[in-house]
Structure formats: C-alpha cells, structure tokens
Structure 1
Amino acid sequence: MANILVAGLVNIETTLKIEGFPQHYYPVTYPFDGIQSSVSGVAYNVAKALATLGDEVDLCTLLAPDMAGEQVQQALAKIPRINACLDMSMQSTPQSVILYDPQGQRQIHVDLKDIQQRSYSSPQLSRCLSQADAVVMCNINFARPMLEQAKQVGKLIATDVHTLGDIEDEYNQQFLAAADVLFLSDEQVEGDYHQFIWQLVERYHNSVIVMGLGSNGALLYTQQSGHIQHFPAINTRTIVNTIGAGDALFSCFLHYYVANKDAEQALQRAITFASYKIGEAGAACGFLNHQQLEDLLGN
C-alpha cells in the first residue's frame, strides 16, 4: 500500500434531511434521526477513504483549539494509518451545513472561517513530502506553496477542483497546472464535455483527467491512451445522500492508480466504491476497505 500526503480542509459537518427542494419556510420542524453532525471536509474524507483502503496517510490541515477542533482531533486519533499533521493556529474551526432530500439532491453551506487568509506551518511537512508516493493537494489557499515543493521533489500530484466552468479559472489555475492527476465535476461545464477535457489537455498537459458525471458515471482521459473513455455508473445499494461521492471516487482512483498506474482499472473500482459510499448520509461514511471492495467486485 502507498504513503500519501493529503493537504486540505477539515471541518465539522452537519447534515439535515429535508422533504425536498425547493425548501419551503417552516417556523419549526422535527426531522427525527434527520440531523447528524460529524467530522468531514474534503481532506478528511479523502484521508479517511485512503486509510480505510489501506494506505498510510499524512493529513495536513489547519484547525482551531476550540471544541470543534478537539472533536476533529479525537476523530483522527481513532482512524488507523492517519498521521495528523495539524496547524492549530486558527481562531475557529471551519463548519458546514448540508441539506439533502430523499432523491439524493443536496445543498452545501460551507463556513471556511478565515482559513483562506492563513498559511500552513508544521515541522513534519518536509518529512511527509519526502516519503510520499503521491500528494493530494485540495484546492485551498494554504496548499498552494506545497504544490511547488511537491514538484521540486518529483512527487505525483493529484487534485480535485470540483466544479469548473472555465479552463482559465483564476482561483484554480495553479492547481490545474500542477496536477498530474486532475479530477473535476461536470456541474458547471457548459457545452460538450469532451471538448472541455480536450481544452484542459491542450492547456495543462495533465497525465490523467477524470470528469465525474454523477448518475451518468465518469469520463477518463489518459495521456498514455490519447483518447477519452466513458465509464457508466453502477448501483450497489439504495442512495441516501450523494454528498462525498466525488471525494470517494477521487480517493479510490488514486489508491489503485498509485499502486499500478492502470487508470481504467482504477476508475472502474472507484465507481463501485463511490456507489457503495452514497448509501449513507455523511460525507465521510460508507467507505469499503480494500478487501471488501474486491469482494464486492467478485475478485
């Protein structure tokens, strides 16, 4: 199994189950068993998924020494194979609230506090970078300096920019240019998806690009093959909440890709992994371990 550095957001997530969208006004509701709070955030979701699959993970993030920050530390301490490299300099730990309905639609509200104005500092960073087989750089400001550091030591860089509608997007451009493995969603892409991927290829020369299509599966481009393939979605169990599906897809793909550089095999397994994951409500719940996934695939 691989050693992977993950740098990005960790927050406290509260999920609220609603009847449907649009949400109508009520002075009070009683959604029994419909409100849950847990540790989440892209970096936590990815780190937990990778660790569950069997990888060793160094997780770099910023927190505050508050009640929420303590909750994060307690959760991380319970997960084998995660080494928490924490910078505790924030005033408040980020939080999110997610509304979701029985059809799996969701609306995400993220309060980053002042994390976008802060830099990350940890004496463990150099060691973590040197021993990593790959680095996951989430598209958050404090990860930007790590991109160049990772490039300088020749590490494979993977990033998920999530929603992207413009290949020249100013906020994400640095991450797009640095990524060897690039993930994104189709949600803000206007026009032909294949054309958008080819524009990314011509502009940034990424080795691998995966575009998640939600219930329609995913598209895969590899520099090695020189073409784009479609992988259909599959259903492994009843959908509860699609939040975190992209993080699961990304994590599982990277787990297999780092191991054998077979992007097609990695994406097929990742689609199954993500399909199973969305059978639970929380973004960091429902992950299979390596053997459970292989058993589900019949291997």
Structure 2
Amino acid sequence: MRVVVIGIANQQTSLPVDTFPIEFEPWRNANGQIRHTVGGVGFTVARVLSTFGNMVALASPMGEDYPAALIDAEAYRYNISTHLCRRELVRTPRSLVFYDSQGRRMVNSDMTDAAGFVFDPEDLLPDVSSAQLVVLANLPLVRNLVEPLRDAASVYAIDLHDIRDPQNPKLTPFLSADLINLSNDHLHGKELEVLEYLRENSEAKLLSMTLGADGALILTPDMDQPVHIPVTSVEAVNTVGAGEFYWAVTLQYFVNAGLSAVEAATLGCEAATRMVASPAIHTPTNIDDLRALIVPPDSRTEQPGEFAWSPVEQAHHYDI
C-alpha cells in the first residue's frame, strides 16, 4: 500500500524519573537512561506503517540542522521516504519527555517555527493523488489539504487528538475524513455522546477513540452503539506514542488487510500494549526490531517492503 503521512517529526530526548512532581537534586546518575531518538505524531505513524511493508512517504517541516539529520537517518533505517519534507524551518522541532514507572509522562514540546507552518497541496503532488491512504497527523499543518483531498476522492485518515469540543467550527472541515481518531483526554464522561455526534456529523466509515489504559472505543455507521476494545493490564515502561501506535496499526489492518473495525482495533490495542510494556521500543536499531513489537507473533512471516517511494502499485484491499 502506498501511504503519505503528513505530520510532525522531531528529535525526542527521553529520561525516566522516579516520581511526579520531580524532586530537585543537584546531581542525578542517569547512566544509560538518557535517550535521543525521533518522535512526533507523523514520524511515529509513518514508522509503524512502513514496518508492515507499506511504501511510506513522510511530509514534515524541518530545518537544516542536526535534528533534521537525525530524522533523515532514522527514516532511512525504517524505509521511510523524506522527499516530501520541507526544509524551510530555522530549527527542527524537538521534545523532552519525562516518564515514570506508573505510565505517566510529561512531554515538553518545542515546535519552533513549525507552529506556523502549513502544507499547500502543490507541496505534496503528485504523491498524494497516487497514494492509497493519506494520513493527516497534525491538524495545523494540513488545514489547506482537506478540500483537495475530498475533491480528489482520496482515502484519508485524520487524528483529532485531545479535542475538547467536537462542535468547534474549526474542526468541521476535518469531519469529511474517511477514518477519524481522537482521544478522550478532555472528554471523560462524554465519550459515547461525542462519538454519536461525530457519526451524525461526519462522513467517517470508522470512528475511533483512545481511552488510555482502558483501551479504545470503535463506532462505524452500521453499529448500534460504540464497541469497547479492552486492553490487558501491563506494567508500562513509557506510554509516549502509544495512541499513534494504536492508530497506525488499526489503519493497517482496516484499510490494507480489510479486517473489520473491531478486529483491526483489537490488533491495534494489542500492539500498543506490547509497545508500552517493552523497553525495546527505546532502542530498536532496524525495522525488524520494531516489527517484533507491532506484528502478532503468529503473523511474522511477511517481509517488509523494498526501500523508497516506489512507483510500483500494490493491492488496495479496502474500498471506501
């Protein structure tokens, strides 16, 4: 499957802490615990979808600095094309993540001048028009792309993240997406109400809401009510990126493999659970290491696809 992912990629530095709030210490031994890697919603989704063997192109705003070089190197390692990235920023985005053994994390995000960056349709042609799936991972970057995608009848997914009000007029254009994900972080007690509202006011064939340690809710046009997808309780190592992991895996199985919404979301939840419980996620060195976390143990015979944004068409199993 040919995929274009449009979203943030950043340099991510992570450090475990004993507890929140963090107690002051003039010196602390963190030997082997300070890790530099590539994060960001866009890169996380692209990395997972590439791990399944899809041909993935990432469109992300970057600068010409060492974090950009880190992103390029990591993209090469995971077979992600960066030819759609725009290198116009003064500084590439970066983040600093503190996390504890209870699964809590504190993300310090420096978006730099990417906060005002917006992709134009011509930046991404002809790749978007030939993709079988377009994933819009960060709303501010993609507000100019929704109408062209809709007019071209492209299959596209969007992550609304931790919205507070689904009736916010700024969200209305994004409700034309075929596949919509969001978080319940600011919607506790309103989950069912919000999903029903989105079903009535969107064009989505799949609505998904992540619930953190409680799993996810799934709603499709033919369901009577949302279906709860539970997760196994595990000792979380680091929950950063778990929602993006879940969404990317769910998209793979729903769009490309043609599984039902419940089956796809179940596999997505299982993959995210393995991810947050495994320290290996902090130090994977290649696509095979990550694949061991994402793909179920009984499904690891398929090999990842060839590197690069190949013009060769692959089968598209899901017809929206």
Same fold (TM over 0.5): yes
Deviation of the 1:234 alpha carbon: 2.2
Alpha carbons of structure 1 residues 19 and 231: separation in structure 2 relative to 1, 3 Å: same
Deviation of the 1:169 alpha carbon: 3.3
In 2, Cα distance between equivalents of 1:294 and 1:148: 40
Per-residue CA shift, 1:261-286, capped at 9, x if unaligned? 52111111111111111134567967
Alignment partner of 1:136 is 2:135:
yes
1:185 corresponds in structure 2 to 183
Which of the residues 246, 251, 266 maps onto 2:243?
246
1:293 corresponds in structure 2 to 296
CA contact (8 A) 1:48 1:284 kept: no
CA contact (8 A) 2:72 2:82 kept: no
Deviation of the 1:171 alpha carbon: 5.0
In 2, Cα distance between equivalents of 1:102 and 1:128: 42
Which of the residues 210, 213, 216 maps onto 1:212?
210
After TM superposition, list the pairs within 5 Å mapping 1:26-37 onto structure 2.
26-37=25-36
In 2, Cα distance between equivalents of 1:64 and 1:244: 23
1:266 corresponds in structure 2 to 264
After TM superposition, list the pairs within 5 Å mapping 1:55-70 onto structure 2.
55-70=54-69
Per-residue CA shift, 1:245-264, capped at 9, x if unaligned? 10000000000111215211
Q: Aligned to 1:108, what secondary structure does the other structure show? A: strand
In 1, Cα distance between equivalents of 2:50 and 2:273: 18
In 2, Cα distance between equivalents of 1:17 and 1:290: 21
In 1, Cα distance between equivalents of 2:186 and 2:254: 26
Deviation of the 1:107 alpha carbon: 0.9
Using the TM superposition, name which of 198-207 and 46-55 deviates more. 198-207
In 1, Cα distance between equivalents of 2:271 and 2:208: 15
Q: Aligned to 1:135, what secondary structure does the other structure show? A: strand
Per-residue CA shift, 1:215-260, capped at 9, x if unaligned? 111110001324211111125x642111111000000000011121
Alpha carbons of structure 1 residues 284 and 247: separation in structure 2 relative to 1, 3 Å: farther
Q: Aligned to 2:270, what secondary structure does the other structure show? A: helix
CA contact (8 A) 1:47 1:82 kept: no
1:255 corresponds in structure 2 to 252
Per-residue CA shift, 1:25-59, capped at 9, x if unaligned? 22332222221111111110000000001211111
CA contact (8 A) 2:6 2:135 kept: yes
Say which structure is richer in strand: 1
CA contact (8 A) 1:100 1:107 kept: yes
TM-score by length of 1: 0.90
Alignment partner of 1:120 is 2:101:
no
Deviation of the 1:122 alpha carbon: 8.7
CA contact (8 A) 1:54 1:81 kept: no
In 2, Cα distance between equivalents of 1:9 and 1:291: 21
1:228 corresponds in structure 2 to 226
In 1, Cα distance between equivalents of 2:27 and 2:167: 44
2:314 corresponds in structure 1 to none
CA contact (8 A) 1:218 1:231 kept: yes
Gaps of 5+ in 2: 301-320
In 2, Cα distance between equivalents of 1:155 and 1:122: 13
CA contact (8 A) 1:184 1:210 kept: yes
In 1, Cα distance between equivalents of 2:297 and 2:35: 30
Alpha carbons of structure 1 residues 185 and 133: separation in structure 2 relative to 1, 3 Å: same
Count of residue pairs the alignment pairs up: 294
Q: Aligned to 1:93, what secondary structure does the other structure show? A: coil
Deviation of the 1:101 alpha carbon: 0.2
Alignment partner of 1:4 is 2:3:
yes
Using the TM superposition, name which of 76-85 and 280-289 deviates more. 280-289
Alpha carbons of structure 1 residues 183 and 110: separation in structure 2 relative to 1, 3 Å: same
CA contact (8 A) 1:163 1:184 kept: yes
CA contact (8 A) 2:275 2:293 kept: no
Q: Aligned to 1:116, what secondary structure does the other structure show? A: helix
CA contact (8 A) 1:210 1:220 kept: yes
TM-score by length of 2: 0.84
Per-residue CA shift, 1:128-165, capped at 9, x if unaligned? 11211111012332211122221111111111122122
